[in-house]
Amino acid sequence: MELFWYIVLMTMLTIYIILDGYDFGAGIIHLFFAKTEKDKKAITNAIGPFWDANEVWLIAVGGVLFFAFPTLYAASFSGFYLPLIMILWLLIFRAIGLELRGQIHNKLWETIWDKAFGIASLLLALFFGIALGNVVRGVNLGMVTNGVSAHEPHYFFLPLWNSSFSPHSEHLGIIDWFTILLGIIGVVALTIHGANWIIYKTNSDLNTKLRSVIFKLNFVLLALVIVSLLVWHIIEPKPFHNFIKHPWLWVFPLITFAGLFGLFKVKTFKKDGIGFIFSSLFLFGGLSSTVASIFPKLLPSTNTTNPDLTIYNMAADSYGLAVGLNWFIIAFILVIVYFIIQYKVFKGKMDDVGYGEH
């Protein structure tokens, strides 16, 4: 049952990153490339009917984590307290930026909320990339100093950064050069993803420019991915041990690079949705490859005193996991039906939706 709930948790997280990821990317495009009111409206129309529903998957991830791996939930929400609070405020400002902009038709008012929406989207993409970096790198479980654990084995707390800015420091921070690298990858990848969604859902004058932006950013993304793979050996001495042990796992890196290389043809796609499919494949493959590389770890320990947090030592009682399965099936069916109806109602181009107009 532990493995089942782990797959459920990772599946929900991947769905969230793909769906809400295009919202973040659209916000970044809005911040840097939307110069006219028409362009700005096209972007908000593209995500308007979807963004709040997409965030349901984040809530679902938290719920499943609390239910299936409660000790990990408790440790993570205390250890990552500072960035989680920052993410919460960024989610709030992104939402009110969308909702309040159209309440008053005043240039200053609209500019304030445009910036709130764009900057919050940019920082959310950065922080989620940094979060992935923290999971890959691990944390100092038990707050070990000189081989002595100061707290219980699953406890940790991280400041935003430390003086060394190194992922090899005994007392780590949320931000170091490795996690920043993954944060930048997150920003670039989600910017591409958001641009593909705008192209797919609108006939905006921006679309031609966005294809060029995607093409150029894809070179940046490829370079960053290669660098991240090279430095991964510095963080994890045997980063591909699971892939060597289980060769079928190589399908996930292949999906990642299929999505990445497919995006180089973005200027030639005859159907607007093809680019979005390729960027979704990249995100799916990248996240799946990362998860596969550290399995069965949920949060690695950077010291040898306390063990890694895994799906087996963090899972709830097997009886509770089994009972929860029945309710999960019902809830999952209802969510899928809702999303099918939503995306069917709002299928096609969204130029005339008029989201946020009052």
- State pLDDT tens for residues 290-336: 999 998 899 998 888 889 899 998 888 888 888 888 888 898 899 88
- Would you list the domain boundaries of the chain? 2-345
Question: Residue 79 CB: number of other CB atoms within 10 A?
Answer: 22
pLDDT of residue 357: 63
In this predicted model, what pLDDT tens digit does every residue of 191-218 receive, in sequence order? Answer: 999 999 999 999 888 899 999 999 999 9
Q: Which residues contact 38 (CB under 8 A, 6 or more apart)?
A: 204, 205
pLDDT number for residue 327: 85
Summarize pLDDT for 243-259 with one digit per residue, the tens.
999 999 999 999 999 99
**For residue 355, pLDDT beyond 80:** no
Closest CA to 219 of 266, 173, 155: 266
207's tokens? 């679309």
| CB distance 174 to 130 below 8 Å | yes
Strands (E), the chain: 144-145, 148-149, 297-299, 309-310
Q: What's the length of the chain?
A: 358
* Per-residue pLDDT, 275: 93
- 109 touches 69 (CB < 8 A): no
Q: What phi and psi values does residue 276 have, to the nearest 5 degrees? A: -65, -35
The stretch 80-101 carries a mean pLDDT of 90
pLDDT(358) > 60 = no
CA distance 276 to 260: 11
Q: Are strands 144-145 and 148-149 parallel, antiparallel or unpaired?
A: antiparallel
Is pLDDT at 156 greater than 80 in this prediction?
yes
In this predicted model, what pLDDT tens digit does every residue of 16-44 receive, in sequence order?
Answer: 999 999 999 999 999 999 888 888 888 99
198 within 8 A of 42, measured Cβ to Cβ: yes
Q: Which residue has the higher pLDDT, 201 or 150?
A: 201
H runs (alpha helix) in 138-206: 177-201
Query: Which amino acid is present at 168?
Result: H
State the pTM of this model: 0.92
> pLDDT tens digits for 158-168?
888 888 888 88
Alpha-carbon distance of 57 to 19, in angstroms, equals 9
User: How is 217-236 classified by DSSP, letter by letter?
Assistant: HHHHHHHHHHHHHHHHHHH-
Is the pLDDT confidence value at 189 over 90? yes
Mean pLDDT across the chain, nearest whole number? 90
CA–CA distance, 329 with 232 (Å, rounded to integer): 37
